Amino acid sequence: MPVIVADRLILASDHAGFALKEKLKPVLERLGISYEDLGTDSEEAVDYPDFARRVAEPVSRGEVRRGVLVCGTGQGMAMSANRFGGVRAALALDEESARLSREHNDANVLALGGRLLDADRAARVLETWLRTPFAGGRHAVRIAKIEP
């Protein structure tokens, strides 16, 4: 199944997600996906909403189709990103939740938990999310009800 990503992907993390974010870059390279890392650049403490904004704003404006965010649990990043219109950030902790977030919810931002996922599982979750197309149909009607 082909990877479904137009142009490029952007990603960011806070300090708790930094190590996992770094381990996901080779996965993107292996898949031939162009990406831009918007930080953070170390495990020095930072505030996750600042980095969620760096990904959510360009996705919200339509400048980029997809983004990936990593923090300790993924929850804070998802909550912050979902404050932006047009962003549908989904926390995925396994391949099934990743698949369904794309297939049913057309998630355009993936949130991962650096303290909850090891690198191998996170790679499988990311790859599943990237390869799963949106099903459309009745799901598109529901997605349309999310936006004001």
Catalytic site positions = 71, 104
CA 42 vs. chain centroid, Å, equals 19
Alpha-carbon distance of 63 to 120, in angstroms, equals: 30
> For residue 134, how many other CB atoms are within 10 A of its CB?
17
Q: Specify the DSSP class assigned to residue 147.
A: -
Q: Which residues does 131 contact at the CB level (< 8 Å), separation at least 6?
A: 1, 2, 3, 4
User: DSSP assignment, residue 102?
Assistant: H
